[in-house]
Structure 1
């Protein structure tokens, strides 16, 4: 910031110098001397002409004409030379006022249209880079806000502009892309980080997570290879196992999904909220594995997507619920799923009923709601993201965009 202000001072001083040059070059005394010399020459020349005219008999009263010529010469002398007080500003005063005007006008215009506030905000955000980076890398129960993600992205892009070989910087930018569901930014940033440091397990995991967001099956295959490589190297943490399990479930490899979810259960205690979530995931996979079928026309197929800018904590769960058409808050049926991959397609049926004696198949019209629970407590909603459908017919495919947040 000091360099910026120094540069502005240098530019303004240069402008003042340009304005001052014409004023410094002006020489009023020289101008007066030149005028006097011209007047004397004119006077002498006119006297000579009068003498010639008098000799030729063309002038009747030569003395009167000489008196008029002297008076004309006297009238051309400035008042300051005749002892009268001058009324104009001195050259130094004009110079000082001109330079003051340049300085005031330059900084005044910049303050109003020069984006000073934006520059100051940018400097403040850049200074917060370590703090925001730490919060992003720490698995906290409180996800980063949309504004914090924007600030961190700006600070990172500034740093990467000057340090393009910073692998950790690209990793963080990729994580922001993942949090914002921006697949292009996530994949491009993680790929650059991976090329710089392909041996880092953290970068391998981030790259795999970004590739899982892609719509290209080749990217998914590459992600699976990275994740399996991490398992072979002994880096099978909860996030690695969760990505593998969910990918297996999505590809109807239910036995494999159950195996990895059970591994995750062994890494957490029964008191952990994630333990019960894993139990439900395993039960859902076992149900699919047993070949239980939903009856055509009484199931609710739902596709849930996230709006751009929605941030999801890795430990969050997706709650999808079916409600009566009048919007009653008490769901007829509901189910929980890991909030690890979006968009996600699910199907609810009578086995997901919440009210005894009340089934989805009893409904003709319904509303479906989707919510990301970030703290494991269904009764608390503050900070959770959600979305819901319009009133639809039973059996009609439903698309829900999660784009609102409880205040």
Structure 2
């Protein structure tokens, strides 16, 4: 499953869980509210109103405001109304006098409203933050512009492993983080997937320098070959001459090391301290070369 599909699935599950958690509470709350208003509160209010009406009739009869016959007639009407309204309350059809009860229809409307609101909020967040593919496209664009982080480049390369320039950019990011061994691995991958990069002297020199800095013995020979290739493309490049000399020392290739030092002396003033130091190093290398030749000759005589 892709990262985008996973993100969509997580968003859907979270929305469904949120709705499922809220709906029972909303439905129960609405139901309890309707029952309370339709029975307890409404019945108490009705009984209080009937008692008040009865007291008013009794007072008017006592004061002589109404006749006994009218009193009896009004009291009979009051009893009839009390009976009808009590039956209506028992059937659940009459709301309380102060507030309308929450009916089943109203509860479902409330639930639908909450669901719609959550969906709209989710869609709004999606639109504000950006779709996963848009966010990914933005990060990919940063890779192409050379401004992406190492993590973003690694994510990009999962789907674009043949992009040699992205591997080079990753190598640069790892050098920035002083991960020279990781940088060397990124350079090797870049040269493997793209022949043009494998012939770029600048990339070859960067790769050799990363391996030498990391002192990655496993790839010292490969780094020396890459540096020699860069020098063959740009024979007079001072950086190539110097790095090839460093690789020669690292691999104990004394002949190559001497040749590189001699190349460096060609463009150097004899008055410089480095000139004298390089001359001394060349004399040491001559001794090592002679010692190696002597050992090789002795070994050859033994085998004859």
TM-score if structure 2 supplies the norm length?
Answer: 0.48
Higher Cα radius of gyration: 2
Normalized per residue, the structure richer in helix is 2
* TM-score, with structure 1 as normaliser: 0.38
